[in-house]
Amino acid sequence: MMPAEQDDSKQRLQKVLSAAGHFSRRRAEALMQEGRIRINGELATEMGVRVDPEVDVVSVDGRVVPLKTEALYIMLNKPRGVVSTMADEQGRPDLSEYVREIGERVVNIGRLDADTTGLLLMTNDGDLVHRLSHPSFEVAKVYTATVRGVVDHAIVKQLTTGVELEDGVSAADKVTVRSNAPKDSSILEIVLHSGKNRIIRRMMEAVGHPVISLHRKAVGGLHLGGLKPGSWRELTTLEVKDLLTLAHRADAPIKKRRHDRED
């Protein structure tokens, strides 16, 4: 890779990696010589190559590394009753209180219904928001759903084969019945990629088992773990790398679109 044309926004790759806290400049040069660093998918072996941390995507051994030193990546366990917006016209609790706690202007990636609890990602990395909020960007999400009635094998098969809805057929990747006690309800673990509006609630309604409560516990390999409702934390460096790698995969969409409301 030839050195990029110099401009004010670009810095030497070694300096950028060092400033972001990933490697010393000497270590970065060694990785470049070993062919382990790529810039926007191309091998970076020229010691003078320069990058723009706000635009260029740098990966080491296939994993994208965060370069934006001011970027924040937050995991929130959204409580029930909180709407996924920064200001609600109806005066309901919204995400603005968490933004005040965080102390930086961050926005949510995707949405959860007011009655749905669980993992919601927030960031001030605009490019990441655009990528992960694109309607065609599908990432595996894991939910725990308590539904009315006893869900049997036939219903599980229907959910994974496909349910006819007003906007087409939708199917879960995997459905596991965790409990059928008490006998008038069931607890399911549902894995799916779709980001369609209220998809789980609509699917369960269509098969005759409406949702009582819904909780999202994982998104694209990120798990809530023991994070309590209403609490938030910054993602670890490893989690950020995984998230950025997912967002910059070869088939990831990049156009800016409206947020789809996830279930």
pLDDT in tens, 87-103: 988 999 999 999 999 99
Place of tokens 């679109």: 257
Q: What is the second-level CATH architecture of the domain 73-137+221-247?
A: 2-Layer Sandwich (3.30)
Same fold? 73-137+221-247, 141-219:
yes
Say if domain 141-219 classifies as CATH 3.40.630.30. Answer: no
195-210 tens-digit pLDDT? 788 999 999 999 999 9
d(CA 241, CA 237) in angstroms, rounded, equals 6
Residue 251 pLDDT exceeds 70: no
Does domain 11-64 bear CATH number 3.10.20.340?
Answer: no
Q: pLDDT at position 257, please?
A: 37
Q: Which of 7, 52, 56, 113 is catalytic?
A: 113
134: amino acid identity, one letter: H
Confidence class for position 107, pLDDT limits 50, 70, 90: very high
* Tokens, residue 92: 């309901």
Measured in degrees and rounded to the nearest 5, phi and psi for residue 51 equal -135, 160
What predicted TM-score, i.e. pTM, was given to this entire model? 0.86
Which pLDDT tens digit goes with each residue over 211-232? 999 999 999 889 999 999 999 9
> What value does the mean pLDDT of the chain take?
89
Residue 258 pLDDT grade (very low, low, confident, very high; cuts 50, 70, 90):
very low
Domain ranges of the chain: 11-64, 73-137+221-247, 141-219
Annotated catalytic, 115? no
Q: How far apart are CA 52 and CA 139, in angstroms?
A: 27
Given a contact cutoff of 8 angstroms between Cβ atoms, the answer to whether 206 and 219 are in contact is no
